[in-house]
Structure 1
Amino acid sequence: MITIKEVSELAKVSQSTVSRTLNGHASVKEANRQKVFAAIEQLGYTPNAFAQALASSRSNSIGMLVGSLDGPFYGPLMHHAENTARNNNMHLIVTSGQESKSRELDSIRFLKAKRVDGMILHTDKLTDSELIDVVAKNPMTLILNRFIPEIADHCLYFDNELGGYLATKHLIERGHQRIACITGQASKVDSRERLQGYRLALQEHNIDHDLSLVIEGRFDHEGNHQVAEKLLDRNTGATAVFCQNDAIALALYDVCYERGIAVGKNLSIVGFDNDTYSQHIRPSLTTVNFPVQEMGQLAVERLLSMLNRSSASDISALQPALVIRDSVSTGCVCLLSSKSQV
């Protein structure tokens, strides 16, 4: 195995100069830097990453905790975070909490054991107080998709409440008064914030909040078909449904097809996230855009700014935008029940 000593002998510089060159120190003269890299290329030297980490106190890696390792939200989030890390000569180490507090805590311990330079945490189960404690003990930590006033500088979040408000307001402005809502898991902060936006829009337009119009689904695909059936079976007279993500809306589309209910005619639907398939289903889905790609990129950029003590982006809150397509009608022809047919 080629060693730093051999590189230094070939380059005719000290071993410390080789080490400083590998760690990117600005104090190394350009002529010596070129000699070192020429020697490395000639010898085929591969630096020992662990030894470098011990010497420099940097591992050139970022840890990321997410809720799941798949799906239309977490997939793009991880992809764009990893691309941004690689573009900055860093590596991304990802682990998932799988909707379990113990696993989230274990994931954080795992990332720290890997000596990552900083952490990006997207957590559902840890409380605000617990995350404040995590940041206090690990200052190079960014909390994703969550706003905690006490550690505001460590947060990058999306305005879910405004997104829920925009979706519901759009349905109201199109003449709907009986608007149902299929939420994500009640345990998730996103779900609660989007539901609050739904309630605010109803309140603003003096529409009573009918609890029978709200039902809990899931942000993944599990069980949403049955949830949509249950909502329609309640015979609430709903003419529109705000689905808290596009996966829920897709399940509702399926149930409507099975029951002969024409989406965009008998029942208006608004989704959330603007997943890639939302523009391809028929009728195309009106939805709220969640800039997940931008969030993944910005998260890494913000953390790198913290690590390098450089000026960071002043963006802390990403804003939703309504994407209007064809799944919402103006007003309604009839009050929908589970037995309605086209």
Structure 2
Amino acid sequence: MATIYQVAERAGVSLSTVSRVLNGKSTVNPALKAKVDKAVAELNYRPNSVARSLANNRTDSIGVLVPELNAPFFGDLMQAVESTCRAADKHVIITVGKNCLATEQDAVEFLISRNCDALIMHAEALSDEYLLELNSKKLPIALVNRQVEGIEEACTVLDNEKGGYLATRHLLELGHKHIAYISGPTDKADAMQRLEGHKRALNEAGIAVNSQLIYNGDYQEDGGKIGLLELLARDMTFSALVCANDWMASGAISCARDLGMSLPHDLSIVGFDDVVFAHHVFPRLTTVSNPVAEMAETSAKFILNKVYGQKHEINRLFSPSLVLRESTTKYE
């Protein structure tokens, strides 16, 4: 295996020149850089990553924290972060927080122990105070789908309230007046923002919000099934249903079909997120887009800018849009 000394000898330059070229320094004479690049190629030289990390005090690795691995939503997030980082010759280490404070804190400490240069997180349970201290005292962070006062530049967020509004307004425009809602967990900010959007659409249409038509779900498929059964058991009339994510919408569709309903004629259903299976369920799901991949890519670019001196343009606020498919129809 070739060494850096052999590269320097083959190129006819000093060790320091080779080191500056390998570390991407812009102060190297272009002619000397060309000689080093040629020598590296001819010798098939591979830089020692440990030595490089000691030299520049970086590991070129970025920690990623997600709540779970078995959801398409977070698969899109991880794919976007990994591909963006890999294009910049950086690597990611992924951990799972499981929406649990102790588990998220343990995951963060693990990533710190692996000498990650920064963290990209979709953190649910960690407090704002913890995140502020982590960012100021330990290492830079970027947050996906979360706003923390004091580190706004590190946050990418979706206008969830607008998304909830768009879902319900669509049903109102189709003539539905009795619209049920299955929310996400009440301790999650995005879930409550989507619910507020739903209420705003009803208020604008002059329709009073009926708490009996709202069920607090859990973002899981079974939550959609249980939610629909509970709403039906309340003996309240409704011709349409908004679910705060596609998983619950999928569960509600499955439950409705098991009950013999003809969809969307007996019940129009709208989801949220536009995950990959939204156009595979039957009927195909009308939903609200959640550009999590773009948000994750933005978070990765923010870290590449902050830690590695790159210069990507950053857009931190993302807007949802309605995706029309066959799970909704006009109220007859």
TM-based fold match above 0.5? yes
Contact 1:124/1:187 (8 A) holds in 2: no
Distance 2:222 2:37 in 1: 53
Distance 1:158 1:255 in 2: 29
Letter in 1 for 2:25: H
Contact 1:118/1:307 (8 A) holds in 2: yes
2:92 is the alignment partner of 1:92: yes
Distance 1:107 1:63 in 2: 9
Which residue number in structure 1 is paired with residue 291 of structure 2? 291
Which residue number in structure 2 is paired with residue 315 of structure 1? 315
Contact 1:124/1:189 (8 A) holds in 2: no
Give per-residue Cα distances to partners, 1:262-281, cap 9 Å, x unaligned.
Answer: 22211111111112232333
2:302 is the alignment partner of 1:302: yes
Question: In the superposition, relative to structure 1, how do residues 134 and 267 fare at CA in structure 2: closer, same or farther (>3 Å)?
Answer: same
Give the superposition deviation at 1:199. 1.9
Q: How many residues align?
A: 332
Which residue number in structure 2 is paired with residue 175 of structure 1? 175
Which residue number in structure 2 is paired with residue 340 of structure 1? none
2:70 is the alignment partner of 1:39: no
2:256 is the alignment partner of 1:256: yes
Distance 2:182 2:200 in 1: 16
TM-score w.r.t. the length of structure 2 is 0.92
Which residue number in structure 2 is paired with residue 20 of structure 1? 20
Distance 2:206 2:134 in 1: 42
Distance 2:197 2:299 in 1: 25
Which residue number in structure 1 is paired with residue 29 of structure 2? 29
Give the superposition deviation at 1:59. 2.0
Question: In the superposition, relative to structure 1, how do residues 296 and 258 fare at CA in structure 2: closer, same or farther (>3 Å)?
Answer: same
Distance 1:37 1:138 in 2: 36
Contact 1:271/1:287 (8 A) holds in 2: yes
Contact 2:121/2:143 (8 A) holds in 1: yes
Q: Secondary structure at the match of 2:150?
A: helix
Which residue number in structure 2 is paired with residue 215 of structure 1? 215
Distance 1:223 1:308 in 2: 43
Give the superposition deviation at 1:321. 0.2
TM-score w.r.t. the length of structure 1 is 0.89
Distance 1:128 1:203 in 2: 32
Distance 1:96 1:282 in 2: 31
Distance 2:118 2:272 in 1: 30
Correspondence list, 1:1-342, <5 A: 2-138=2-138, 140-309=140-309, 311-332=311-332
Contact 1:306/1:312 (8 A) holds in 2: no
Question: In the superposition, relative to structure 1, how do residues 39 and 311 fare at CA in structure 2: closer, same or farther (>3 Å)?
Answer: closer
Q: Secondary structure at the match of 1:73?
A: helix
Distance 1:200 1:127 in 2: 28
Distance 1:314 1:77 in 2: 17
Tell which deviates more after alignment, 178-187 or 76-85.
178-187
Give per-residue Cα distances to partners, 1:152-177, cap 9 Å, x unaligned.
Answer: 11111111111011111222222222
Question: In the superposition, relative to structure 1, how do residues 306 and 224 fare at CA in structure 2: closer, same or farther (>3 Å)?
Answer: same
TM-align CA RMSD: 2.1
Tell which deviates more after alignment, 213-222 or 68-77.
213-222
Distance 1:327 1:249 in 2: 10
Give per-residue Cα distances to partners, 1:58-90, cap 9 Å, x unaligned.
Answer: 222222111112311001111122111111222
Q: Secondary structure at the match of 1:252?
A: helix
Distance 1:223 1:247 in 2: 8
Tell which deviates more after alignment, 266-275 or 8-17.
8-17
Give the superposition deviation at 1:189. 2.3
Contact 2:183/2:214 (8 A) holds in 1: yes
Distance 1:49 1:195 in 2: 48
Give the superposition deviation at 1:139. 5.9
Could you list the runs of 5+ residues in structure 1 that have no partner in the other structure?
333-342
Distance 1:309 1:28 in 2: 17
Letter in 2 for 1:130: Y
Distance 1:255 1:249 in 2: 10
Give the superposition deviation at 1:252. 0.9
Give the superposition deviation at 1:15. 1.9
Distance 2:324 2:40 in 1: 56
Distance 1:234 1:51 in 2: 66
